[in-house]
Structure 1
């Protein structure tokens, strides 16, 4: 099948390049970030590294939504939650009734937006425990050995069809290690809960996943956040695909063994001055609790803490910029007093 990736960022590049280079499939890319599009065109492709080494150029076909003329069988969507409405609107003229869409974006809320353009029968959602870093425009770093990482995928109808199974086969050929489930909300929320621990805490405390997991009290913090999220899900009637202990074990394994040197995507956004997706992760868990008569005190607090960290970051950046302008501004001449006659 032919694929087109919407959102040539860290994960978009990872999926698209592996499908093209490892599985040998026809892949295009669509992106709205002008510096990224310009860099790829100037370079003739995207630079790909693995664990910071073996940097090499992979030729790709990258267009803006307005320029793209292809017609894929499947769209792969990896866009930040805050940008999704705008990106989908710009791509709307490209969508056809015969096409499917797969997305494994972080957080929750994106399916409601995707459903404006695709029926549930043609939506395949998923999660990805696959570490990747976007170094800059046209430059991506795959973290972990080839074949590292896992992912889940599930039809929005919870009934996999032949196209879904074909996507699964292609993802498996690309070493993405897909696992097909039949539980939509339980699958997606398992990753949201994972991210509510690792992404948010590693960002607030500027740590790698391994550094967080090595802290003596990490297991207790993890269990507190996991238990509160599971309590909210139970009240909402959502059955998770993992037990509470399996969720804790997943956080530990991925942090200590899978990607101990990795800074999560939320940290990458935060460190580059961008808004984080905390409202779609911890904030979503807190909202789910409120809607079902349960207060997620810790997730509410962590969400506000993350926004406080963003506000302090922005205030410091503004102060630095103001000082820089003052230093760069030309100094006015100080008038000299006339000499006094003797």
Structure 2
């Protein structure tokens, strides 16, 4: 029996926690710092769960603020927005113990450095999640796509699969999260960053679904241009992605055209609700790697400016 506690009761945190709780029988708790989320879930005594906007039902879950939590999990599952992570980890720090592991498959990059301030390398497992989920509101989550069709990767930061990393893999598999173990830490994490740097950012810029994006005849050319910059930057930094350039482009096509054509990516969900996006941790992170290794990712840098400009321009739309 492995005890999990999820930090962040947003879309992905709820999906991982609920599926592990329901399908594996392992105990799961939740921690959040967003008052509407904690208060709503406490009042409801659980969270609403739907799949593709259907079969809405209540799932009982335990949730607390960090300061009220008394549990001692074996594994922390961390799904927090990159901009908020440092403060959330600081509030949770008194709960962290030497035997515990931390797993995170957050979008973008930057979170591993912050998590490494609290956990040793061999107790950190990073991952990616090609799993579409929408948070309709506090305590109301929608799992997108058919059951057991999502795919994720996970890798111990040491690139050695120890007993707990294997146990996480087994539990995630039983939960239907589609895990794949790798032994290439940065290459695994960056494979999702370069994917998101195409789909998340462009769908947000034009406020469209993934299916609408891939309908454009030039979508493949756009994906290839961004992927080439991403791979060039990573190669100069000595990061070897777990997929090839062509595989990444094909993944953009498949996920957008077949797997999740009606899905608005998470960056758009933040943008449409007036929140800041994670573009600095996605396209901006790729551009940063490039600059650090004498390679300028001009398209990625341009897109970062475009997204920030769009964020600023929302005030004029609201004023109308």
TM-score (norm 2): 0.99
TM-superposed deviation, 1:316: 3.1
Secondary structure, counterpart of 1:207 in structure 2? coil
Distance in 2 (CA, whole Å) between partners of 1:211 and 1:316 is 23
Q: In the alignment, what sits opposite 1:58?
A: 59
Q: In the alignment, what sits opposite 1:291?
A: 292
Q: In the alignment, what sits opposite 2:281?
A: 280
TM-superposed deviation, 1:132: 0.2
**TM-superposition CA deviations, 1:192-245 (whole Å, max 9, x none):** 000000000000101100110111100000000001100001111111111100
The number of residues matched between the two structures is 319
Q: In the alignment, what sits opposite 1:332?
A: none
Distance in 1 (CA, whole Å) between partners of 2:33 and 2:310 is 28
**Structure with bigger gyration radius:** 1
Distance in 2 (CA, whole Å) between partners of 1:235 and 1:137 is 42
Secondary structure, counterpart of 2:66 in structure 1? coil
Segment of structure 1 superposing worse, 17-26 or 272-281: 17-26
What is the Cα-based RMSD across aligned positions, in Å? 0.7
1:159, 1:182 within 8 Å by CA — same for their partners in 2? yes
**TM-superposition CA deviations, 1:58-84 (whole Å, max 9, x none):** 000000000000000000000000000
Q: In the alignment, what sits opposite 2:173?
A: 172
Secondary structure, counterpart of 1:22 in structure 2? helix
Distance in 2 (CA, whole Å) between partners of 1:41 and 1:98 is 29
TM-superposed deviation, 1:44: 1.1
| Structure 2 runs not aligned, ≥5 long | none
| Structure 1 runs not aligned, ≥5 long | 321-342
Q: In the alignment, what sits opposite 2:305?
A: 304
**TM-superposition CA deviations, 1:70-101 (whole Å, max 9, x none):** 00000000000000010000000000000000
Q: In the alignment, what sits opposite 2:246?
A: 245
TM-score (norm 1): 0.92
- Runs of 4+ deviating beyond 4 Å: none
Distance in 2 (CA, whole Å) between partners of 1:50 and 1:255 is 18
TM-superposed deviation, 1:134: 0.2
**TM-superposition CA deviations, 1:102-121 (whole Å, max 9, x none):** 00000011111101100001
Secondary structure, counterpart of 2:141 in structure 1? strand
